[in-house]
Amino acid sequence: MKATANILAWILAVLLAVIFLFAGGVKLLGSRAMVQEFAQIGAGQWFRYVTGVLEVSGAIGVLIPKYRFWAALQLAAVIAGATVVNIWVLHTGPLARLTAVLLVLLLVLASLRRPQNENSGAVRSVQHQSS
């Protein structure tokens, strides 16, 4: 089972890394569509750069097993914000559905790579013995 989870985590990590390298890259490179979209959002172009940096760094992070959990959570936070903006600011339902799917995939990846507390088994054992 652990091998299957590891393979699934790598598949998700590579898929999400490609998606977010592209998404963050077009923001950082100043694609006309992204400049217009962030103008519509009204937060300023600095927000496009911040979002792009978070997406690119998160994409790199999900490829590094040591950082995968935290990078997936970083990207999940970014994409959760994007989903809210797509629904309430830009009113783009189909895009909101796509970002919601990406959010679920990122949370699945994070759950596959969540840090394990090495002492949790010992604590349960001690608690069981004292009962």
**Cα separation, 15 vs 98, whole angstroms:** 14
Query: Does 55 reside within a domain?
Result: yes
Query: Does 123 reside within a domain?
Result: no
**In this structure, what token pair is assigned to residue 116?**
């394990």
Predicted local distance difference test score (pLDDT) of residue 34: 97
Cβ-based neighbours of 89, under 8 Å, separated by 6 or more: 40, 41, 42
Query: Does 26 reside within a domain?
Result: yes
Predicted local distance difference test score (pLDDT) of residue 126: 47
Query: Does 125 reside within a domain?
Result: no
**pTM, two decimal places:** 0.85
pLDDT tens per residue across all 131 residues of the chain: 688 989 999 999 999 999 999 999 999 999 999 999 999 999 999 999 999 999 999 999 999 999 999 999 999 999 999 999 999 999 999 999 999 999 999 999 999 988 876 554 444 444 455 55
Predicted local distance difference test score (pLDDT) of residue 113: 86
Tally of domains within the chain: 1
Domain housing 58: 2-115
Q: Give the burial class of 13: count Cβ atoms within 10 A of its Cβ; 0-12 exposed, 13-18 middle, 19 or more buried.
A: buried
Predicted local distance difference test score (pLDDT) of residue 46: 97
